[in-house]
Amino acid sequence: MRIVFAGTPAPAVPSLTALLDSRHEVAAVITRPPAPRGRGRTLHPSPIGALAESAGVPVLTPRSARDPEFAEQLAAIEPEAAAVVAYGNLLPPPILAIPAHGWVNLHFSLLPAWRGASPVPAAIRAGDDITGASTFRLEAGMDTGPVYGLITEPIGDGDTAGDLLDRLATAGARLLVATLDGLADGTVVALPQSADGVSYAGKITVADARLDWSMPATAVHRTIRSLTPDPGAWTDSPWGRLVLGPVAHTDRTDLPPGRLEAGKRDVLVGTGTTAVRLGRLTAPGRKPMDAADWARGARPEPGTLLG
């Protein structure tokens, strides 16, 4: 089929790569406009924009999908179907109606669970044992369209959001290609989502990533993993904002929530239950480092509180 692909960040790259290698023709790519980055604030294309340019595929970067000029450009391409993975912009009904086979969205959850912008962090934070990826027909509602297919993926106790998203992006790319193959062959059917088990995962802000040390250790562990690497769980401290990497459980029960205890090899922090052992952290203006190495330089006083 002649298709267009809409996507923006790195997790969408495996899908575009798989489609470029498939039997389908990627006639154009739609992505967010180049954004300023680095000290010079120079403009850089999105990961999807950069891949499309290197592959010689025309790139559209509308400021708004409601722009009439964008609708005209898309209609002129005459796509038979469209694929979308983490594009980052809502597509209005007139745009959804252009391809005859509609828009196929790859979403990183087992719909109807965790509809919305951050399904992978939500699944880890909730303590889910299993997650997955779904392909569904995009419609005006938030991730409500009928589902073509899904894959499952276990969540390990040490998985960060980055680890899990990498695996889902790769496996989901194969699912997306298989779905488009089925549409072209007339062998795939979209089934309505269940009315049971619906949940939502909104966009995560930096303010949302502030740790609450009064939570149980299990919740602290899940929260940090769910926010790693982006935007990064953080806590206030006498040294400024510390961004924390994954932590480990301990059996210490004598540290109150937020109390920091630094030994020669371990840096512990109290929670609402047992203390956790800090792994890596990033202090203001510094690169990520082992927590014990940081403590040897910072020399925290006994009784120091974080939070």
Q: Residue 110, annotated ligand binder?
A: yes
Q: Residue 109, annotated ligand binder?
A: yes
Euclidean distance between CA atoms 187 and 97, whole angstroms = 21
**19-56: b or e for each residue (b if 16 or more CB lie within 10 Å)?**
bbebebebbbbbbbeeeeeeeeeeeebbbbbebbeeee
Cα-trace Rg, the chain? 22
Backbone angles phi, psi at 290, to 5 degrees: -65, 140
Q: Residue 121, annotated ligand binder?
A: no
- The CA distances from residue 122 to 167, 268, 286, in Å, are 16, 26, 29
- Return the biggest CA–CA distance within the chain: 68
Q: Residue 74, annotated ligand binder?
A: no
Euclidean distance between CA atoms 43 and 40, whole angstroms = 9
**Residues annotated in the binding site for (6S)-5,6,7,8-tetrahydrofolate, as ranges?**
109-112
**Residues annotated in the binding site, as ranges?**
109-112
